[in-house]
Amino acid sequence: MIHILIVEDDPMVAEINRRYLQQIEGFELVGIASSVEEVEPILTSNKVDLILLDIHMPGDNGWSLLCKMRGMGMEMDVIVITASCDKESIKKGLRFGAVDYIIKPFEFDRFKSALVHYQQEQILLDKQEKVNQSELDQLLLHKEQKESNGNELPKGLTRNTLQRVWREIVAFGKQSFTTEELACRVGVSRVSMRKYVTFLADIQVLETDFAYGSIGRPVLTHRLLPYNEERIHQYFH
């Protein structure tokens, strides 16, 4: 069992992370901290293997926590989950030893991929004193990234469906839309559509954001980034 601490000041996002975590086997949530000051008591009274860390919080931020942890020789791992997508923040997270960096807002599939990959690393390293180069490559290079070269689509996606998805996205123009709305137009399941939306966000032709409804429940919405449209065309051939 991998023990997780969520550090997130937005209660709505913290709840989303908690619910996402509940859907993945092999992980146990030991606590949720809404500030850096709340982290230390949790670490001293609980076993924590992995921290899901937001960066921008009131008072001390996530960078100061990471700096303090590394200075004290704390060995728990960190996945940064933040809206900061500038290159300096990403470089900083990697220099501090983050095992992954997730940019808000994100879909469940991206969250699950990060957690499952981390889980697989721990299982292999716990079972074996030594690993060979092939096994190490599987740890350091995400398998799905190695399998997707050039203009090959990720596993489970087809060009024909991608073209249909793209036509409907273009039809939305500047209007934001949800995964469900797009799935209904294309005529595929919401689960299948989530894979296409995640892929398009990964290659930066879609922008995603949280929209809050009348009762405060966040809904993930998407919007076309027209200046990046050329990035999709290579996947149609």
80-109 residue pLDDT tens = 998 888 888 888 888 888 889 998 888 888
- Neighbour tally for 159: CB within 10 Å: 12
Record: fold of 2-143: Rossmann fold (3.40.50)
Q: Where are the domains of the chain?
A: 2-143, 159-236
Q: What's the chain's average pLDDT? A: 83
The two structure tokens encoding residue 226: 């027209």
Q: What is the pTM of this model?
A: 0.62
Looking at domain 159-236, which of 1.10.8.50, 1.10.10.10, 3.90.1150.10, 1.10.3720.10 is its CATH number?
1.10.10.10
For the segment 112-144, what is each residue's pLDDT rounded down to a tens digit? 888 988 888 888 777 777 777 766 666 666 544
The mean pLDDT of 177-198, rounded to a whole number, is 91
Q: How confident is the model at residue 168 (pLDDT cuts 50, 70, 90)?
A: very high
* φ/ψ bin of 187: left (φ > 0), alpha (ψ from -120 to 50), beta (otherwise): left
Residue 76 reports pLDDT greater than 60: yes
The pLDDT of residue 218: 64
Report which of residues 30 and 105 the model is more confident about: 30
* CA gap 160, 166 in Å, rounded: 10
